[in-house]
Structure 1
Amino acid sequence: MLIIPIKEGENIDRALKRFKRKFDRTGAKRQLQTRKQFTKPSVARRAQVQKAQYIQQLRDQENI
C-alpha cells in the first residue's frame, strides 16, 4: 500500500501527482496486467527473444 504524506498547506493536486508518480515507479499496474491472464513460459520466452533481436537490430543499424 502506498502512503503519501501530505504536508500542511500542500495542494491536493500536487499530492495526487506525487502518488501517481510513485505508483508508476513501483510497477504495480504492470504487475496487475501480467497477473490478469496466464501466459505460457514458452510464449513469454519467445517474446523476450524477439524483443532482444529487435533491440540488437536497432543497435546494429546505429553503428553502421
Structure 2
Amino acid sequence: MLIIPIKEGENIDRALKRYKRKFDKTGTRRQLQSRKEFLKPSVTNRALIQKAQYVQKLRDQEQI
C-alpha cells in the first residue's frame, strides 16, 4: 500500500501526481498486468529474444 503524505497547503493535483509517479516506480502496475493472464514461459522467453534481436538490429544500424 502506497502512502503519500500531503503537506499543508499542498494542491491535491500535485499530491496525485506524486502518487502516480511512485505507483509507476514501484512496478505495481506491471505486476498487476502480468497477473491478469498467465503467459507460458516459452512465450515470455520468445518475447525477450525478439526484444534482444530488435535492440541488436538498432545498434547495428547505428554503427553503419
Identity %: 78
Superposed, 1:1-64 pairs within 5 Å as: 1-64=1-64
Q: What TM-score, normalized by structure 2, do the two folds share?
A: 0.96
Q: What TM-score, normalized by structure 1, do the two folds share?
A: 0.96
For structure 2, the residue ranges without an aligned partner over 5 or more in a row are: none
Q: Whole-Å Cα distance in 2 between the matches of residues 4 and 26 of structure 1? A: 13
Corresponding residue pairs, total? 64
Q: Give 3-state SS (helix, strand or coil) of 2:50's partner.
A: helix
Matching residue's letter, 2:3: I
For structure 1, the residue ranges without an aligned partner over 5 or more in a row are: none
**Please, what is the CA RMSD of the aligned residues?**
0.6
